[in-house]
Chain A
Amino acid sequence: MQVTGHREQVTGVRSQLTGKPGVARVLAASLLSLLLFGGRGMAQQQAIVLKGGKLLTVSHGDIDDGVLVMQGGKISALGAAASVKVPRDAKVIDVTGMTVYPGLIDSESSLGLTEISAEAMTNDRIEISDEIMPHMHVYEAFHAESELIPVTRLNGVTNAIVAPDSADTLPGQDSFIQLAGPSATEMLLVRDIAMPLNFTGEQRRNESWEKRKFPQTRMGMAAQLRQAFLDAQDYQQKAADYEKKKADAERDKKSPPAAPKRDLKLEALLPYLQGKKTIVLAAESPSDLETAVRLAQEFNLKFVLNHVSHSRPMLDYVASLKVPVIVGPIYETPKEYERFDAVYSLPAELYKRGVKIAFASFDAHNARNLPYQAGFATGFGLPPDEALKAITLSAAEIWGLGDQLGSLDAGKTANVVVANGDPLDVKTDVKRVFIGGEEIPMISRQTRLRDEYSK
């Protein structure tokens, strides 16, 4: 909920306990390692070996009493204890009795776009002035030093999609982040990775009679979207015409034609119109789902589905589309006519139909609870292995990063989590987190407050 009243003092209240932000500490640790090891960059210097744990590889089963080697920021080797050669001078960490699994990936969050939900000046989540805002880039607002990021990564979430809020039909473009790094530059792994197209009804401008404006209905939303993509097609054609005329003029040694005026909105739509990038198509109810899919198909957009929260009767149709689904959140309360488990059971039902699924927190402060949502879905029939996959490898694949992230495999980025149990259980304590092979200090603003008041 956006609260615009902000009479309260916003900036002065941050406790002196806050100390350095976590990212700065990572930076400090990296600088320290530079001094100690004379390295040339920020990347991992010393090989780290995790020995004795149960490796949940996600891609090729579990390995009891395994060994995993991280070198140069990547996983360089892993396997049963006897089969892996431990490099000389490596730092060996005994993780006997622990589980070791790939860093978790949150397929939609607002990390870095919000600090305190009710304090408007700490939020950069959505540009509400217009519904068609594809030229908003979350990376231009992404606050790398957010206190929420260390809180989140301490629970094993190492990567996330950062998306604008969903109150516009086209609110802007997502970025894919890593939850540690010297600055925003390194943390923003992929900028403009995808673009949400929201069609849930929430985007209607029908808050009150006084504030009503176009589009106040779903018809208006659809018409506005259709016009935007038609305009983009036209813009694309004009650009092509110009290029041709320009080439002709060069060939004929004539003066060049006047360049068409740039339009940032339409320009931003082009990679999506051309099918080069993915649209994240959000709908909840069956009718919205069909309308949104028709729109996407009309313009040959490449898309993944988002939410489908109240479309239980439509799951065969969803499966027939052969696209992945970012499901839920399964905490969405059922509609009046739905059974208590209509939303809880969506992941299992989609899995049964062969649909690739991923979970998302759709949150920032509570993004750390991503694994518990996957765990809850197992209570309604989703196999635990598939639940873990939906917050690791499947998510990486959906975002086109399956070759780099999402599983314990040699050659992948060393985003690795060590915990004392089932990654999906609320009781499990995450003990160590490695991002790009660097061990993250298990410190957040919250642990500092805990320690301060435990004295």
Chain B
Amino acid sequence: MFRNTTVWSVSSVLSFVFAASVLLAQQQPASSAHNEVVIKNAIVMTVTRGNIKNGSIYIKDGKIAAIGESLDAPASATVIDAGGKYLTPGIVDSHSHLALDDDVNEATSPVTPQMMMQDAFDYQDKAIYHALAGGVTTSLLLHGSANMIGGQAIVIKHKYGAGRDAMLFPGAPRSIKFASGENPKRVYGSRNELPSTRMGNFAVQRDALVQAQDYMRSWDEYNAKVKRGDKDATAPKRDLKLEALADVLRGKLMVQIHCYRADEFLTEIAMAKEFGYHIRAFHHALEAYKVPEKLAAENIGIATFADWWGYKQEAWDAIPWNAVMAMRKGVRVAIKSDSNDFARRLNQEAAKTMRYGGATEEEALKMITLNAAWIVGVDDKVGSIEVGKDADLVIWDGYPLSSSAVPNKVLIDGDVYFDRALPGYGMPHYSEGQ
């Protein structure tokens, strides 16, 4: 697509605006590795560097190549006129269970770290599209919370219609889901099995980690022997379960813990110190406001709800000020969905933090973009509008941090994946029966 090397200012391509956007919507192929797109006439909410009124973005090869009030872009670039509307980074959902059919919990044992979400990923699930239409471009698909250790997550981009492999976030770090509290003890306790108490929960977790230490040691010893040239060295038997936990101990898996109560945060932190791993984030974390300094000191983020509460005992002390109270004490806070419904309107959920506790516009937006991306481990690639980052962008009809905003267009890697103006499902890359 480098037919024309002449560089044009954005204003010189004004006349193409509407025709070009229609063409883009209808004809652009699913794969556009070398696309060049200009989005002009937008209020750009960069998240990290304030807002740019009447801003433009130049996208090259799926990445943001330039941002500004005026910028240089080739005339061959496809132009999308945002019509003076708001442009934000794509929303990152740091806690999702969509596209997993009913395969969220392998609830036959409380420790199943060898479960790989990628083996269950149902990439045709329409929930991916529903969230996309709500502005979500990246999601962390986590196991459920029936088990103390549920399994390994995947990170997806919501490129609905592009096929399975195209939807897996390239280079995203691996995460593992831990859980605590009511759910494991309910699931196993109802079967008269261990665990049925929080004491049991943590005993099960500790026991698994002790086994992993032994396993790791035996492999370390074997590898040391091989390195020494010991020809008699015999490899230990591979055990997928312990291998995964050994990766936790080696810091190769980011630990994401479903945890509600303040006391359980502290126990989980103590356990992490005992075994020498780091906790990336507490999920749900509805009582973070009770011990925010303890979380901030460990650099542990939270992925929480804006105002959901009371659905179970451990959600009884939830308050809608939680996110902002924790943030003010230095905790990195994300608002997440944990629901195919909430995933479609995370912008409204984030806006609630402006009302409950007075988050600024940028702070609220960060909770569904950059902070969420940090929890997922992809904040170097998405979560803000910066040169070099993936061109995952949402053009909104209305002010995004409000009740009534609706995405007009959603781009992923510079490609339009959702366009509300299109008939049918509004997806250029998808048609029924595909």
Contacts and interface: CB of A to CB of B under 8 A. Distances in A.
Interface string A99-124: 00000000000000001111100000
A126 to B, nearest CB: 17
Given A5-B190, A376-B404, A450-B321, A340 B425 contact: yes
B354 interface: yes
Contact of B402 (A427, A429, A450): A427
A333 B403 contact: no
B213 interface: no
B351 interface: yes
A380 B133 CA distance: 13
B348 A372 contact: yes
B289 A340 contact: no
13 contacts: A3-B186, A7-B186, A117-B312, A148-B310, A333-B344, A334-B126, A379-B397, A379-B398, A427-B355, A428-B355, A429-B355, A446-B319, A449-B289
The 6 A-B pairs of least Cβ separation, nearest first, read A375-B403, A118-B312, A340-B133, A379-B404, A365-B310, A446-B319
B185 A7 contact: yes
Contact of A426 (B127, B355, B398): B355
A331 B325 contact: no
A5 B186 contact: yes
Contacts of B345: 331, 376
Interface in B390-434: 397-398, 401-406, 420, 424-426
A200 B307 CA distance: 29
Interface in A252-290: none
B404 A8 contact: no
Contacts of B315: 116
A15 interface: yes
Given A8-B182, A379-B398, A453-B290, A333 B341 contact: yes
B311 A453 contact: no
Given A378-B403, A425-B402, A426-B402, 7 more contacts: A116-B315, A334-B130, A340-B129, A376-B345, A379-B397, A427-B402, A449-B317
A398 interface: no
Given A376-B404, A453-B325, A118 B316 contact: no
Given A117-B312, A453-B290, A379 B307 contact: no
B330 interface: no
Interface string B308-340: 111111011111110001000000000000001
B388 interface: no
Interface string B120-164: 000000110110011000000000000000000000000000000
Given A340-B130, A340-B425, A118 B311 contact: yes
A11 to B, nearest CB: 10
Contacts of A7: 185-186, 189-190, 196
A366 B341 CA distance: 14
B316 A116 contact: yes
Contact of B309 (A8, A333, A365, A428): A365
Interface in B260-283: none
B352 interface: yes
Interface string A12-36: 0111000000000000000000000
Q: Secondary structure at chain A's binding surface: helix, strand, loop or mixed?
A: loop
Contacts of B406: 379-380
A369 interface: yes
A293 to B, nearest CB: 28
Nearest to A380: B406
A450 B307 contact: no
B130 A333 contact: yes
A115 B397 CA distance: 38
Interface string B20-50: 0000000000000000000000000000000
Contacts of A429: 355
Contacts of B351: 426-427
Nearest to A376: B403
A117 B189 CA distance: 19
Contacts of A86: none
A224 to B, nearest CB: 30
B308 A366 contact: yes
A339 interface: yes
A371 B404 CA distance: 11
A336 interface: yes
A5 B189 contact: yes
Interface string A354-386: 000000000011101101100110111000000
A5 B193 CA distance: 14
A440 interface: no
B310 A116 contact: yes
A260 to B, nearest CB: 46
